[in-house]
Chain A
Amino acid sequence: MKFRVERDVLADAVAWTARSLPVRPSVPVLAGMLLDATEDDGGRRLKLSSFDYEVSAQVSVEIDVEEPGTTLVSGRLLAEITRNLPPQTVEISTDGAKVTVACGSAKFTLLTLPVEDYPTLPAMPQMTGSIGSDAFAAAVSQVAVAAGRDDTLPMLTGVRVEIEGDTVTLASTDRYRLAVRELAWKPENPDVSAVALVPAKTLADTAKSLTGGAEVSIALSAADSGEGMIGFEGGGRRTTTRLLDGEFPKYRALLPDTFNSVAEVQRAEFIEAVKRVSLVAERNTPLRLAFGDGRLVLEAGTGDEAQAVEVLDSSLEGEDIQIAFNSAFLLDGLTAIDSDIARLQFTTSTKPAIITGKPADDGATADYRYLIMPVRLSG
């Protein structure tokens, strides 16, 4: 095998593929990155692959192939090396059981791993539809923020993906908040209906890394075709990930639809004030909000410790309300909405509140909703 490729192209491709390398490989070959230089269909391509039995990643770049071939080398080491090479053409060639990486005046010789032991990457499921890559990445990040991080409740570490015709609904919850986003997409089959539970962290990383191309194709294996798998492809990169098992909470019933109070606050000011006031809120002490009289009063801290208070303008329809939140949860919600004005809807101080952006059309429902449970103050 022998080929040449520009350093930046190689470094990008290797770095992206290396993200899916297992931290602690269960078998040594999984620490490897597969390099496959081919000439087919008149194209000359280098394919880089990594796999940890949960997630597979494969990137394909156009290169100058002198001699086709396949080899397996330590993925971490290759990523380190390519990141530090000078910005020139890189030549990679095999020489018996070794691989040589040459660039400018630098030359590395790497040991290879046995290619024949490397597992076959899972096949990409059938394409289900496609979606704008930037919109997809933004929607996923809005939802993934509410996913749980506690591995003892695996179904809460995922993002629920529901496909119904030309609408995709993403949802996640850690029991204290629930984020739901609806967005339009282009299904292959207009009558498609499917659900999947995708690990939130993998999904967020994937969506962010696929913004190189305009569109992302999504491929969901049919529920009855063995193991659940979802695939994403865009800009020469494709990745598959295993789906999570487990019952996701029936969240639609949890979203309240009637409220006693609706407040609107300038989002940027609100975020700044929350950050400032919560400086005195020690771990696990809540931020208290009081809406009324055209104002929002934010307070944290108690008589025995440092205290902070700040007052903002706020409109309010309905009853005055005092309510307390974990300030980190509140900030996540305010940061995730995509509007200059935050709308907060309340029932009582112990019932879920809903944060949305102010919809352009007042009657419309927001396409992103963030449910947040309050903190009950004792005493």
Chain B
Amino acid sequence: MIGPRGVEPLPGPDSDADRDCAVLHIDMDAFFAGVERLEHPETRGKPIIVGGTGPRGVVSSADYIARSYGVHSAMPMVRALRLCPDAVVFPPDGPAYRRVSEAVMDILRSVTPEVEPVSLDEAFLDVSGARRRLGSPVRIAELIRRRVREEQRLTCSVGVAATKFVAKLASTQCKPDGLLLVPTAQVTAFLHPLPVGALWGVGDKTEQALTRLGLRTVGDVARISPQTLRHEFGAALGDRLAALSHGRDDRPVVPTTPDKSIGAEETFPRDVDDPGLIHRELLRLSEKVARRLRASGQAGRTVVVKLRRADFTTITRSRTLPEPTDVAREINAAARGLYAAAGLERVRLRLVGVRVEGLLPAAEAHRQLSIGEPETGWREAERAMDAVTRRFGPDAIRPAALAKRAENDV
């Protein structure tokens, strides 16, 4: 095991240092890049970057070779390629990552149903109930790491601790391909040397405020009185900082289904203020979201539109429909209404997104019929489009508003 003061031996089978450490944080190592490596074995030995390739593309994942050149996620692609010109760049392949993510989550759920996915490549587990069957938390962590490696040919890092907060810090500290147990007795020794930015919920602003108070490490925060923290940061944040700096975090692991929502967004190559163009993009995104809803057998009730202005300020607006839907036409109607109501027509936008939340299995999405409505409608038309797409490919059929005009078209 890699401990805070270097490498220490793993606890033996008799050790009970992990006795009360039932929370595991599993974090896939350079996940998107790892999946691309598997799909493109010819890139062996070369750095891999996944991200947008347009003029405004950003890095969403970089493998450890690329990272050694200083590339990290959220960095503009142009800069990443200056640092690491030999890198092989892949545009993100959402469906492939989701497929692998599902397989990894399935491994985790075979250990315990108490799995809380945080994102495609990250999850918390509460293994209290699995110990009798599978052994101590550290043994379970080893088991998970072995199965992910053997079944998915990918590596992950696992943090083991008594709380979510410490488990997550532990997995970060032992990356890549690591396993770190932070026994409760050593939480303080582990936490206190870390910078304040490691505390959950401390962003740039809070970090600056803490630094102004002369607090640079978690230990510094732990040594000042909770009253002072409350005074400086208000009751909620002050109390949280005090609790976290002592390793206290009572958030439970909440098992959730992985799909809480399905969405798609688009960053324009150039800012757009033409409502006609925005409408077409909303339609294209609605079609995409609806197709994914239908493919996954789900329907949702809440439509969310995300609009990012040229200056990066972002607003989201949502509308809950009377009934769940998986029909692009209905999603698009709500999305257009939200865009119109947001008052951003003629404002230059950098990004638009459409998302459907409140998902449930389509088999439970009953439909209140309305008077005089035809027996078959857009739902059936869109299902027919799905069938055409399956047979002839994604470009075979689309709404006329999205069709590209042929050169010799009049």
A residues whose Cβ falls under 8 Å from a Cβ of B: 173, 175-178, 249, 254, 284-286, 302, 324, 326, 350, 352, 371, 373-379
Chain B residues within 8 Å of A326, by CB: 368
- Structural contact, A324 and B369, CB atoms closer than 8 A: no
- Structural contact, B366 and A254, CB atoms closer than 8 A: no
- Structural contact, B371 and A284, CB atoms closer than 8 A: no
Chain A residues within 8 Å of B363, by CB: 378-379
- Structural contact, A371 and B371, CB atoms closer than 8 A: yes
In the complex formed, the residue of A with least CB distance to B367 is: A376
Checking A173, A177, A178, A375 against B367 with a beta-carbon cut-off of 8 angstroms, the contacting residue is A375
- Structural contact, A254 and B371, CB atoms closer than 8 A: yes
Checking A175, A249, A378 against B366 with a beta-carbon cut-off of 8 angstroms, the contacting residue is A378
In the complex formed, the residue of A with least CB distance to B337 is: A152
Chain B residues within 8 Å of A371, by CB: 371
Q: In whole angstroms, how far apart are the Cα atoms of A173 and B366 in the complex?
A: 21
User: Does B364 make an interface contact (CB < 8 A)?
Assistant: yes
B391 to chain A, nearest CB (A): 24
- Structural contact, A178 and B369, CB atoms closer than 8 A: no
- Structural contact, A378 and B369, CB atoms closer than 8 A: no
- Structural contact, A375 and B364, CB atoms closer than 8 A: no
A-B contact count (CB 8 A): 51
Q: In whole angstroms, how far apart are the Cα atoms of A131 and B366 in the complex?
A: 43
- Structural contact, B370 and A175, CB atoms closer than 8 A: yes
- Structural contact, B371 and A378, CB atoms closer than 8 A: no
Chain A residues within 8 Å of B369, by CB: 176, 350, 373-376
In the complex formed, the residue of A with least CB distance to B324 is: A284
Checking A173, A324, A376, A379 against B371 with a beta-carbon cut-off of 8 angstroms, the contacting residue is A173
Chain B residues within 8 Å of A254, by CB: 371-372
B379 to chain A, nearest CB (A): 10
- Structural contact, B366 and A286, CB atoms closer than 8 A: yes
Chain A residues within 8 Å of B366, by CB: 284-286, 324, 375-378
- 6 A-B pairs closest in CB distance: A379-B363, A175-B370, A373-B369, A376-B367, A375-B366, A375-B368
* Interface residues of chain A: helix, strand, loop or mixed (majority): loop
Interface bin, chain B: 10 to 19
- Structural contact, A284 and B323, CB atoms closer than 8 A: yes
Known: A284-B323, A379-B363. A373 touches B368 (CB 8 A): yes
B13-28 vs A, Cβ < 8 Å mask (1 yes, 0 no): 0000000000000000
**CB neighbors of A among B366-386 (8 A):** 366-372, 375
- Structural contact, B370 and A378, CB atoms closer than 8 A: no
User: Does B362 make an interface contact (CB < 8 A)?
Assistant: yes
Could you write out 20 A-B pairs with CB less than 8 Å apart? A175-B370, A176-B371, A249-B371, A249-B372, A254-B371, A254-B372, A284-B322, A284-B323, A284-B366, A286-B368, A324-B366, A326-B368, A375-B366, A375-B367, A376-B366, A376-B369, A377-B366, A378-B362, A378-B363, A379-B364
New A-B pairs, 15, CB < 8 Å, besides A176-B369, A326-B368, A379-B363: A176-B370, A177-B371, A284-B322, A284-B323, A284-B368, A286-B366, A286-B368, A373-B368, A375-B366, A375-B369, A376-B367, A376-B369, A378-B364, A378-B367, A379-B364
B residues whose Cβ falls under 8 Å from a Cβ of A: 322-324, 362-372, 375
B162 to chain A, nearest CB (A): 34
- Structural contact, B364 and A302, CB atoms closer than 8 A: yes
A290 to chain B, nearest CB (A): 16
Q: In whole angstroms, how far apart are the Cα atoms of A249 and B324 in the complex?
A: 26
A173 to chain B, nearest CB (A): 7
Chain A residues within 8 Å of B364, by CB: 285, 302, 378-379
Residue from B365, B369, B370, B371 having most chain A Cβ neighbours under 10 A: B371
Residue from A249, A286, A378 having most chain B Cβ neighbours under 10 A: A378
In the complex formed, the residue of A with least CB distance to B365 is: A378
A306 to chain B, nearest CB (A): 14
- Structural contact, B367 and A352, CB atoms closer than 8 A: no
Chain B residues within 8 Å of A378, by CB: 362-367
Q: In whole angstroms, how far apart are the Cα atoms of A83 and B324 in the complex?
A: 47
Chain A residues within 8 Å of B372, by CB: 249, 254
- Structural contact, A373 and B371, CB atoms closer than 8 A: yes
Q: In whole angstroms, how far apart are the Cα atoms of A365 and B44 in the complex?
A: 82
- Structural contact, B375 and A352, CB atoms closer than 8 A: no
- Structural contact, B323 and A178, CB atoms closer than 8 A: no
Q: In whole angstroms, how far apart are the Cα atoms of A53 and B111 in the complex?
A: 68
B299 to chain A, nearest CB (A): 9
B125 to chain A, nearest CB (A): 24
Chain A residues within 8 Å of B368, by CB: 176, 284, 286, 326, 373, 375
In the complex formed, the residue of A with least CB distance to B372 is: A254
- Structural contact, B371 and A352, CB atoms closer than 8 A: yes
Q: In whole angstroms, how far apart are the Cα atoms of A374 and B369 in the complex?
A: 6
Chain B residues within 8 Å of A285, by CB: 364, 366
A355 to chain B, nearest CB (A): 14
In the complex formed, the residue of A with least CB distance to B323 is: A284
Q: In whole angstroms, how far apart are the Cα atoms of A371 and B372 in the complex?
A: 12
Q: In whole angstroms, how far apart are the Cα atoms of A178 and B369 in the complex?
A: 13
Chain A residues within 8 Å of B370, by CB: 175-176, 373
In the complex formed, the residue of A with least CB distance to B297 is: A379
Residue from B322, B363, B368 having most chain A Cβ neighbours under 10 A: B368
A353 to chain B, nearest CB (A): 11
Chain B residues within 8 Å of A373, by CB: 368-371
A122 to chain B, nearest CB (A): 34
Chain A residues within 8 Å of B324, by CB: 284
Chain B residues within 8 Å of A178, by CB: 371
A282 to chain B, nearest CB (A): 10
Chain B residues within 8 Å of A350, by CB: 369, 375
A364 to chain B, nearest CB (A): 25
Q: In whole angstroms, how far apart are the Cα atoms of A126 and B369 in the complex?
A: 42
Chain B residues within 8 Å of A173, by CB: 371
Q: In whole angstroms, how far apart are the Cα atoms of A249 and B372 in the complex?
A: 10
A177 to chain B, nearest CB (A): 8
B327 to chain A, nearest CB (A): 13
Q: In whole angstroms, how far apart are the Cα atoms of A375 and B369 in the complex?
A: 6
Q: In whole angstroms, how far apart are the Cα atoms of A376 and B376 in the complex?
A: 12
A333 to chain B, nearest CB (A): 14
Chain A residues within 8 Å of B322, by CB: 284
Q: In whole angstroms, how far apart are the Cα atoms of A352 and B369 in the complex?
A: 9
Chain B residues within 8 Å of A352, by CB: 371
A371 to chain B, nearest CB (A): 7
In the complex formed, the residue of A with least CB distance to B301 is: A284
B208 to chain A, nearest CB (A): 44
Q: In whole angstroms, how far apart are the Cα atoms of A378 and B363 in the complex?
A: 5
Q: In whole angstroms, how far apart are the Cα atoms of A176 and B323 in the complex?
A: 13
In the complex formed, the residue of A with least CB distance to B368 is: A375
Q: In whole angstroms, how far apart are the Cα atoms of A371 and B362 in the complex?
A: 27
Q: In whole angstroms, how far apart are the Cα atoms of A285 and B360 in the complex?
A: 12
Chain A residues within 8 Å of B365, by CB: 378
